[in-house]
Amino acid sequence: MRMFDNPRFILGTFVAVVLAGILFYAPLAVVRGQDIIDKTGVFAERTYTINSTDPAANPSLDQLDVSLARTIRINFRTGNCTSCSPVRVDVLSNSTVIDTFNIDVNVNATRVYEIPGTQLSLKFAGSIAGASNGVTVTVLGRAN
């Protein structure tokens, strides 16, 4: 039986070599189905400067494809400065707001979502007019 006929090996990289008219297959790296299910990956890691209380005037993370993940974890880290303001975050899945919250100055925050959609967007706004803040966002997805 050839290795690629075995249903346990569903992904992998193989080397095919012909010696004396016989075809040999050798796996370089084999990933079994049960190994794929429990993986976490980074979908995005970005830093934004938030200057306005109007979300439309600030940069945003728009339509990030998260269709391969069942669970999304978003880590937020805000800056620390004397004139910084808290940051309001709107989390959208398929253009529907699923969460809105504020992140204080110099805070790390984490939110976890069971995302029902395929697109994730984040909109940001400052909480105080005339103040600004930086926010670093890391979006992680888990496939199981």
Distance of alpha carbon 84 from alpha carbon 98, whole angstroms: 26
pLDDT values of the chain reduced to their tens digit, one per residue, 144 residues: 444 443 333 334 444 444 555 544 444 444 444 444 557 888 899 999 888 889 889 999 988 888 888 889 999 998 877 678 889 999 998 889 999 999 988 889 999 998 766 888 999 998 788 888 889 999 998 876
Planar angle of CA 29, 34, 35, nearest 5 degrees:
45
Distance of alpha carbon 85 from alpha carbon 81, whole angstroms: 9
DSSP 67-112: TT-SEEEEEEEE---TTB--EEEEEEETTEEEEEEEE-TT-EEEEE
Distance of alpha carbon 82 from alpha carbon 105, whole angstroms: 9
CATH number at residue 94: 2.60.120.380
Which residue type sits at 69? Answer: A
Distance of alpha carbon 134 from alpha carbon 123, whole angstroms: 13
- Cα dist from 10 to 1, 38, 77, 141, whole Å: 15, 15, 39, 22
31 shares its domain with 84: no
28 shares its domain with 45: no
29 shares its domain with 88: no
Q: What is the pTM of this model?
A: 0.69
Please give the tally of structural domains in the chain.
Answer: 2
